[in-house]
Amino acid sequence: MAKKIFLMAVAGMAFVALFSAANCNAAAITGGSSMDTAVELKAGTYTGGAITGDTTQYFYVTLGQGQQVTAKAMLTSAIETGTISTIALYDQDRNQVVEEFDANYTSVTLTADWLVNGDQPTYKYYLKLASDDDGVTSYNLTLTITDRFDAGTTQDAPATFENALSVSAGTMKGYVTGDDEGGTDTADMFAFVPPADGAYIVTVTPPTDMEVELAIYDANRTEVDSQIGNNEGSIVTSTVQATSGAKVFIKVASYFYLGKTPAEYQFVIAAPAATNTNGSVTAVNQNAATSGNANTNSAEAVNQNLIAPLDTNTNTTAATANRNSNTAATTDDDEDEDSMMMYYIIGGAVLLLVIVIVLVMVMRKKKPGTPAQQPPANQ
């Protein structure tokens, strides 16, 4: 009996230890009652106690430029008639930038997303959790901070000429947000110094729910081209006649975007076809736009490379169809030849038959005229 009690005690202690370990990952938190007393949060998973009616809990988070904060809270309610729960984000000037709220009968999950631009090195943002006068009994909060850096760097491309992000020719990706939607990173400015004279092609591919703007400026910051996509998802392209060493500014901005999370776009600066031999700049640049690498092949070869992977199925199908057509044509020709041969044989047989009949008739007609066999002369 004593042994049984001992084993049960050990099992109980193991259960408590496991339960405690599972909860170690989610730190218990309680926010401040105002922004002045907001409690700092780092990325992580947290649990909180009751938020009583008409009270709020405030936290704050520090974001580096080009970082996106995602706060996801599940608030539990014991009020069967429902309560209204709220999550909100405020910028460093304490202006509300995001607010999500919903009716909460048993529990509700609310998310706030925001991406900050590269205008300053760090930002302080405030997070608020709240409930109406019925309150919530507890909550779980997950805070995620995601880097949304531009052009393979560790920063956001600022929107100004002075702080434009230096880039080289190639394929890159970047992030922007809509105006007042999902963040303050509405534009990225890049500075490009061409290594050689020539026609560089700049291409920006936005996500399908975003209308993008592309603007090109010369070294004097004078706009030389501006393109706006015709529709959401429309790819925009600009050809830049550049001089070696003369800086070119390239701005990518969201012209129309309602997404609440950052839009990822592809950005290509295609080098001119210096080694191209047939002068087909467009084709070569398309190749460069696809791969981001300088092209060293002839434009014809490039075109074949470009087209071949895309049209393989079509060509194969067409070829097969053609082969089928050819086969069908061949079969038809053979059938025609066989038919003609049959006609010749039948015709020849009929002709032969007619000749035989005519000969027989002629022979029969000739018989009466045939000199009668003379009786042998009596001798």
Contacting positions for Ca ion (CB under 5 A): 117, 150, 156-157, 175, 185, 188
Q: Which is nearer to Ca ion, 67 or 227 (CB)?
A: 67
Angstrom distance (rounded) from CA 237 to CA 228: 9
Least Cβ distance, residue 184 to Ca ion (angstroms): 8
Instruction: Sort 115 into a burial class: Cβ within 10 Å, 0-12 / 13-18 / 19+.
Output: buried
Angstrom distance (rounded) from CA 123 to CA 105: 35
Least Cβ distance, residue 220 to Ca ion (angstroms): 22
Least Cβ distance, residue 205 to Ca ion (angstroms): 15
Q: Which is nearer to Ca ion, 66 or 135 (CB)?
A: 66
Least Cβ distance, residue 189 to Ca ion (angstroms): 7
| Whether 76 contacts 166, CB under 8 Å | no
Angstrom distance (rounded) from CA 192 to CA 243: 11
Of the candidates 217, 206, 202, 215, the residue with the CA atom closest to the CA atom of residue 170: 202
Least Cβ distance, residue 250 to Ca ion (angstroms): 12
Q: Which is nearer to Ca ion, 100 or 185 (CB)?
A: 185
Least Cβ distance, residue 252 to Ca ion (angstroms): 8
Angstrom distance (rounded) from CA 374 to CA 152: 127
Q: Which is nearer to Ca ion, 140 or 163 (CB)?
A: 163
Least Cβ distance, residue 204 to Ca ion (angstroms): 12
Q: Which is nearer to Ca ion, 101 or 256 (CB)?
A: 256
Structure-derived torsion over alpha carbons of residues 297, 301, 307, 313, reported in degrees to the nearest 10? -120
Least Cβ distance, residue 270 to Ca ion (angstroms): 21
55-58 long-range contacts (CB < 8 A, ≥24 apart) are 55/130, 55/131, 55/135, 56/31, 56/128, 56/129, 56/130, 57/30, 57/31, 57/32, 57/33, 57/128, 57/129, 57/130, 58/31, 58/32, 58/33, 58/34, 58/126, 58/127, 58/128
What DSSP string runs through 163-199? TPEEE-SEEEEEEE-BTTBSBS--EEEEEE--SSSEE
Of the candidates 45, 49, 50, 39, the residue with the CA atom closest to the CA atom of residue 24: 45
Angstrom distance (rounded) from CA 32 to CA 51: 11
Least Cβ distance, residue 70 to Ca ion (angstroms): 17
What DSSP string runs through 135-173? -BSEEEEEEEEEE--STTSSSPPPSSSTTPEEE-SEEEE
Least Cβ distance, residue 119 to Ca ion (angstroms): 8
Q: Which is nearer to Ca ion, 46 or 114 (CB)?
A: 114
Angstrom distance (rounded) from CA 376 to CA 373: 9
Q: Which is nearer to Ca ion, 75 or 157 (CB)?
A: 157
Q: Which is nearer to Ca ion, 109 or 153 (CB)?
A: 153
Q: Which is nearer to Ca ion, 100 or 156 (CB)?
A: 156
Q: 295 — phi, psi (to 5°)?
A: -90, 140
What's at 192, amino acid-wise?
F
Q: Which is nearer to Ca ion, 99 or 264 (CB)?
A: 264
